[in-house]
Amino acid sequence: MLGRRQIREKVVQTVYSYYQNPVKFDVLEKNMFSGIEKIYDLYIYQLNFLVSLKELAENQIEIGKNKYIKTDANTNPNQKFINNQVLIKLEENPERLFFTGQHKQLKWDLHDDLLVKTFQRITGGKRYQDFMKEEEYSFEEDQKFIGKLFLRYIAENDDFQDYLSDREISWYDDMHIANSMVQKTIGFLKENEESRTLIKMIKDEEDKTFALKLLRNTLDSWENNEKKLSERLENWDLERVALMDKVILLVAITELDNFPFTPSRVIINEFIEIAKVFATDRSNIFINGILDKYCKDLNRI
C-alpha cells in the first residue's frame, strides 16, 4: 500500500497542479485518485517487465533447441534463470495475471526493442553470468539476484525511465514510488508461500479520508497559511519563494494545524523527504527551518 509519505506526495503534486491550472474541487479530487491508480498501473507494468524477461529467455531456449545445427548449449541449455523461484512466483501471481488481463496495454510485447536490448545487457553482464555458473539453487540467492537485477536494469535505467515517461507523463514523478513497491514485493516473497496479494494503493477508508482532508484543508486555508508563512520569512518576500517550496510548506502547515495526533517531527521529516524529491537541492534545509520555527512558535509537540 502507499505509505502516508506517498499520500502526502500526491497531495503536494495535486495542489501544485491546481495552482498552475485551477479546476473545480471534485475534478481535482478525481485527478488525485486517478494519479494514484496510475501508480498501480506502473507497478504492474514493471512486474510484467520482469516476467517478460523470463518469457524471452524461454523463447530463446526453444529457438536454440530447434536449430538445425545445435551446440551443446542448445541441446542442454542452462535453465537457472527461467527456473528462478522469484520470477516463477511473480509469473503465477493471480492478481498480476487478472489485472493484466483487464488492462492488456500493460503487457509487454516480446519483440519490444527496450525489452530485447535490456535482456541482452543483462545476459552480457558479469552478475548474470556468475549467477548462471553457480550450480546450487536457493530461494535467498534467487531473491537477491532479481532484486539487484531490478535495481540495475530497471529502476536505475535511464532508457527505461524515458520509455515510461513517453507512455504516461505522470509516471515520471511517480517512478520512485513504483520502484519501491516492486522492491518490497520481491523482498516480501516467501519460499514456501504462494504469491497471492500484491501491494495495494490505498489501505483503507482512513487513508482516503486523510488524503481528501489534507487536500481540501490546504486549499481552504491557503491565504491564511500564506500569512503564517510570510510572518516566518526572514529578509525574504513571499513572492520570491518558489511555488513548489510554497506548496510543500503550506501542505505541511495544514497538516500540523489539522492533524494534532501526528508528532510534529514526523510531519516535518516527511515533508523534508518530499522536498528532496520535488524541489531544489537546498529546499529541504529552507523547509526544515521554516517548519521547525512554526512548531516552536506554536509549542507544537
Assess whether 184 and 226 both reside in one domain: no
Is the same domain home to 76 and 151?
yes
Query: Which of 146, 168, 188 is the last residue in one of the domains?
Result: 188
Structural domain includes residue 204: no
Residue 260 belongs to a domain: yes
Is 155 a domain residue? yes
pLDDT-derived band of residue 74, with 50, 70 and 90 as boundaries? low
pLDDT tens for residues 248-259? 999 999 999 999
In a domain, 12, yes or no: no
Looking at the structure, do residues 143 and 241 belong to the same domain, yes or no? no
Both 127 and 168 in one domain: the answer is yes
**pLDDT score at 68:** 63
Any idea what the CATH number is for the domain that residue 238 is in? Answer: 1.10.940.10
User: Is the pLDDT confidence value at 44 over 60?
Assistant: yes
Global pTM value: 0.87
Question: Do 181 and 252 belong to one domain?
Answer: no
Residues 152, 54 share a domain: yes
**Reported confidence tier of residue 72, pLDDT bands at 50, 70, 90:** low
Question: In which domain, by residue range, is 55 found?
Answer: 24-188
Q: Of the candidates 39, 180, 46, which has an alpha carbon nearest to the alpha carbon of residue 115?
A: 46
Residues 227 and 173 in one domain: no
Given a cut of 80, whether residue 154 has pLDDT beyond it is: yes
Q: Do 108 and 49 share a structural domain?
A: yes
Q: Are residues 136 and 277 in the same domain?
A: no
User: Of 188, 213, 230, which residue is a domain's last?
Assistant: 188
Do residues 78 and 183 share a domain? yes
Q: Tell me: do 47 and 172 sit in the same domain.
A: yes
Same structural domain, 33 and 182 = yes
- In angstroms, the Cα distances linking 280 to 6, 40, 173, 268, 276 are 19, 27, 15, 17, 7
In angstroms, the CA 40 to CA 3 distance is: 14
46-71 pLDDT, tens digit each:
999 999 999 999 998 887 667 666 66
> Quick one: average pLDDT of 176-196?
91
Q: Give dist(CA 80, CA 64) in Å, integer.
A: 16
pLDDT at 161: 93
Report pLDDT digits (tens) over 201-244.
777 788 899 999 999 999 999 999 999 999 988 777 888 899 99
Distance CA 229, CA 221 (A): 12
Q: How many domains does one find in the chain?
A: 2
Separation CA 296–CA 184 (nearest Å): 37
Mean pLDDT over the full length of the chain: 91
Q: Tell me whether residue 248 is in a domain.
A: yes
pLDDT band at 9 (very low <50, low <70, confident <90, very high): very high
Which residue shows C-alpha cell 523461484?
85
Residue 5 in domain: no
For residue 7, tell me if it sits in a domain: no
pLDDT at 166 over 90: yes
Residue 216 maps to a domain: no
Q: Which of 188, 205, 230 is the last residue of a domain?
A: 188
